[in-house]
Amino acid sequence: MLKLNPHLSVDCVIFGFDGQNLKALLTKRNIPDPENANKFITDYKLPGDFITDEEDLQTAANRILKELTGLTNIFLKQLWVFGSPRRINKERDINWLRETTGLPIERVVTIAYYSLIKIAESQQENANINNALWIKVEEISELAFDHFEILQRGLKTLRTRLQIEPVGFELLPRQFTLRQLQNLYEVILGRELDNRNFRKKILKAEYLVATDDKEKEVAHKPARLFMFDKDIYEKSEMRDLGFQF
Amino acid sequence: MLKLNPHLSVDCVIFGFDGQNLKALLTKRNIPDPENANKFITDYKLPGDFITDEEDLQTAANRILKELTGLTNIFLKQLWVFGSPRRINKERDINWLRETTGLPIERVVTIAYYSLIKIAESQQENANINNALWIKVEEISELAFDHFEILQRGLKTLRTRLQIEPVGFELLPRQFTLRQLQNLYEVILGRELDNRNFRKKILKAEYLVATDDKEKEVAHKPARLFMFDKDIYEKSEMRDLGFQF
């Protein structure tokens, strides 16, 4: 039996994109209503867990990701550490932690990770077993603990990285149209982009490669499919940032 | 009396620049030689401490920084969390922690911060009291615990940020010559840069402002002094990264 460390947890902001919307995978809690013993309150939290005594932080985050999506070898990065002594300040959250883990919970520092996955590749049954749902990021206005703050930081980091690295490709299918790519940029940045300007800039990236294939089964004129070439990216000048000397 | 949390520490990579060399502030330890009871072994570690039960992580890092340098309101950012269950694997390190703190030390997760300071502004007496010394980064080849790995990550992050943000200015005096600025870039990047190319690129930055002043008391022809304008930087287009839409 693995021993959980009651001082340290890992929480994961798992972003996914369904072609239209940026979503986050959240787990649903049913907790007793303190004002009515027969009722439950439903709320949502980021997927997370305490780490075991023998586990690396990244291993713990990967374990959670696999449990909820069935996926391994996924884009997963440290986001930030949330360590305020008052970060778990609601009695119902402390009670819930104590009851579900049986641990003597006091202060918990959480190491937040963020992950980018292709929703279509994740296993829906894994999500179901764990009471996890994909929810549109724009519709999330509150979460348990300080998880809304963690989600906001994940979003901010995703926006910044999108401008440095082609992280967006992690969220798209292997082949995609420029329209899908632009949709992705628009939902992450939270605003519409000018079509011409977007295409002009993005096509400068040598690692964005046109294929000979086109979209299938669409009502409009089928658009060309592109893909992301990791080899070219890794050698590419486009990785250069503002001041590359 | 503040109660220290034996599970969580903060370690600081404090970078400084003396005009010629990139340095890190290290604290010296004298620990008993396990092979000779009358002798001590001297080694170095990053400045750090356990956090208190009531303290934010950033507050703990600021506390350490102030103790060692006398400085407050300094560039200080989360670097990475080091949480491997085997990160404190030398018996002498575990013993040292137990003896100096009186705490039941088992696994310790450390949140690493990095800081950029102007050595000339830091208080040498604070360093002296704490057995801290400025050591050239290029001369550091080993440190206690996993601190050498933490230092290396700090260096890598500093190199990356140098290409995105003008972090280097935190390390220079208020006014500086282009030669000093180039020196700084060269020591952080660990290689010589072409003078003409460097000046051409760096002078594109609108927030690098020429003053009317020149160097004083130098043997060669005095060079113009520049300064960094934070207001211009904050509004500047130069903050744009690769893909700004």
Per-residue pLDDT reduced to its tens digit, B138-180 = 999 999 999 999 999 999 999 988 877 777 888 998 899 999 9
Give the count of domains, chain A. Answer: 2
- Inter-chain residue contact B111 with A83, CB threshold 8 Å: yes
CATH number of domain containing A206: 1.10.10.10
Q: Which of A162, A184, A204 finishes a domain?
A: A162
B116 and B217 assigned to the same domain:
no
Q: Are residues A195 and A93 in the same domain?
A: no
Closest CA to B120 of B77, B182, B159, B170: B170
* Tens-digit pLDDT profile for residues A32-82: 887 888 898 999 999 999 999 899 999 999 999 999 999 998 999 999 999
- Residue ending a domain, among A108, A134, A162, is A162
Mark yes or no for CB contact A245/B7 under 8 Å: no
Query: Is A243 near chain B, with CB under 8 Å?
Result: yes
Going by C-alpha positions, the residue among B58, B114, B110 that lies closest to residue B81 is B110
pLDDT tens profile B109-134:
999 999 999 998 999 999 999 999 99
Domain boundary among B143, B162, B181: B162
Q: Is residue B167 part of a domain?
A: no
Interface predicted TM-score (ipTM) of this complex, two decimals: 0.80
Say if residue A80 is in the same domain as residue A154: yes
Residue A244 resides in a domain: no
- CATH assignment at residue B89: 3.90.79.10
Say what percent of chain B tops pLDDT 70: 96
Same domain, yes or no: A9 and A98: yes
- Which of A51, A80, A193 is opposite residue B78, by nearest beta carbon? A80
| B245 within a domain of the structure (yes/no) | no
Are both B185 and B104 inside the same structural domain? no
> Which range of residues forms the domain containing residue A116?
4-162
- Report the residue from B8, B51, B243 with minimal CB separation from A163: B243
Q: Which pLDDT belongs to residue A242?
A: 45
Same domain, A139 and A177: no
| Closest by CA position to A62, among listed A54, A46, A74, A80 | A74
pLDDT at res. B18: 87
Please, are residues B136 and B38 in contact by the beta-carbon 8 Å criterion?
Answer: no
B244 within some domain: no
Binned at pLDDT 50, 70 and 90, residue B242 comes out as very low
Average pLDDT, chain A: 90
Give B243→chain A minimum CA distance, Å. Answer: 4
A155 shares its domain with A113 = yes
Contact A85 B56 (CB under 8 A): yes
* Single-letter amino acid, residue A115: S
HEC assignment per residue over B115-151: EEEEHHHCCHHHHHHCCEEEEEHHHCCCCCCCHHHHH
Distance between CA atoms of B149 and B171, rounded to whole angstroms?
Answer: 22
Determine the distance in angstroms separating the CA of A79 from the nearest CA of chain B, rounded to an integer: 9
Please tell me the distance in Å from B140's CA to the nearest CA on chain A: 25
The answer, for B113 touching chain A at a CB cutoff of 8 Å, is no
- Give the 3-state secondary structure of residue B50: strand
Among the partner-chain residues B7, B57, B162, the one whose CB lies closest to the CB of A81 is B57
Taking the CA of residue A189 and the nearest CA in chain B, the distance in Å comes to: 9
Q: Is the CB of A2 inside 8 Å of chain B's CB atoms?
A: no
